Amino acid sequence: MANYHFVYKDVEGASTQWDDIQRKLGNLPPKPPAFKPPSFTPAENEDSKHKDKAWIDDRTEKQLEDLDDDPDLDDDRFLQEYRKKRLGELRQAAKVQRYGSVVPISGSDFVREVSQAPPDVWVIVILYKDGYPECGLLLQCLEQLATKYPTTKFVKIISTDCIPNYPDCNLPTLLVYNNGAVKANYVGLHNFGRRCNPGGVALVLCQSDPVLNDGQSGSEPSSREAVLKGVRQRLIEKVVRDHEDDDDGSSSD
C-alpha cells in the first residue's frame, strides 16, 4: 500500500506556530539557532604591510637578506640604506662574544679558557684566595667592569691552582691575556691606587691597550677614551654631590 503522507519541511531555522506552542509546553527541544556565516576578513599579507623603519627593525637577519630584491624597497632609497645598516648591525652582533661576569675556572680549564681564547678577545685573570679583603675588593671592581664591558672576558682562579706555591703576599694578582700571550700583569692591590674602584682599575687596564670594550665602540682606540670619559663624568657628579651636601649643611645651621 502506497504511503501518501507528506512531511512539509520549512526553511532551515524557521518555526511554525504549532512548534512554538509545543516548545513552550516542553514537548519539543529548543529551536537551534539559524546558521549565520562569519563575516569575511581578508588575511593580512606580509607584502601588504606598510614597510617603514620599525618594520625593518622587526626583521631577522635571514628576513632582511631575503628583502634584497623587494620591489617596495627598490623604490625607497632610505629603506634600502637602512636595511643594509640594520643587516650589518645584526651580523656584527652575531660575531660579538658576550660574557658579562667573572667566571670561576680551575687549573685544568686555564689553557682552554685563557690561552686558547679567540684572538680578538681580551681576557682578564685574577689570582685570588678567599678570606683576603684585598682580593674581595678587587673582585667587586671586576664584577662591575665585567657587566659594563661584556665583550671582555673575566675569569678568576685560586692562585695555587694556577701556579703551585704562589706566594699569598702577591695577592691579588691580575693577568691580562690576548691572543694566547700575557700582555700585562699587576701584582698587589697597590697598582690600582689608594682607593681601589672600578674606574681606577679600568684606567690601569687600558693604559697601553684597548683591553675593555663594550662591543659598541667600533674602533679599538676608543676604549681608553671611553673609560676616561666615564671617570671624568663620575668625578664631576661626585663634586656636584659634595657641593650640594655642603649647601644643605650650611643652610641647616
Quick: pLDDT tens for 45-64: 445 456 777 878 888 878 87
Q: Which of 73-82, 122-131, 206-215 has the highest mean pLDDT?
A: 122-131
What does the alpha-carbon distance between residue 153 and residue 201 come to, in Å, rounded to a whole number?
15
Is pLDDT of 35 > 80?
no
Phi-psi region of 52 (alpha: psi -120 to 50; beta: other; left: phi over 0): beta
**CB of 144 closer than 8 Å to CB of 202:** no
Q: What secondary structure letter does DSSP report for 119?
A: T
**CB of 230 closer than 8 Å to CB of 171:** no
Report the pLDDT value the prediction gives residue 26, as an integer from 0 to 100: 73
Is pLDDT of 190 > 60?
yes
Cβ within 8 Å of residue 223, ≥6 positions away: 206, 210, 211, 212, 213, 217
CA 91 to chain centre: 15
Q: What is the dihedral of CA 151, 152, 158, 159, to 10 degrees?
A: 160
Is pLDDT of 177 > 50?
yes
| Arithmetic mean of pLDDT, 157-174 | 96
Burial of 90 (0-12, 13-18, 19+ CB in 10 A): middle
pTM here is: 0.57
% of the chain exceeding 90 in pLDDT: 36
What's the CATH fold of domain 102-233?
A: Glutaredoxin (3.40.30)
Report the pLDDT value the prediction gives residue 22, as an integer from 0 to 100: 73
Of 127, 141, 113, 133, which Cα lies nearest the Cα of 200? 141
What does the alpha-carbon distance between residue 172 and residue 189 come to, in Å, rounded to a whole number?
6
**CB of 199 closer than 8 Å to CB of 231:** yes
Q: Where are the domains of the chain?
A: 52-95, 102-233
Instruction: Return the higher-pLDDT residue of 189 and 250.
Output: 189
Give CA angle at 251 (250, 253), nearest 5°: 65
For residue 198, the surrounding DSSP H or E stretch is helix 198-205
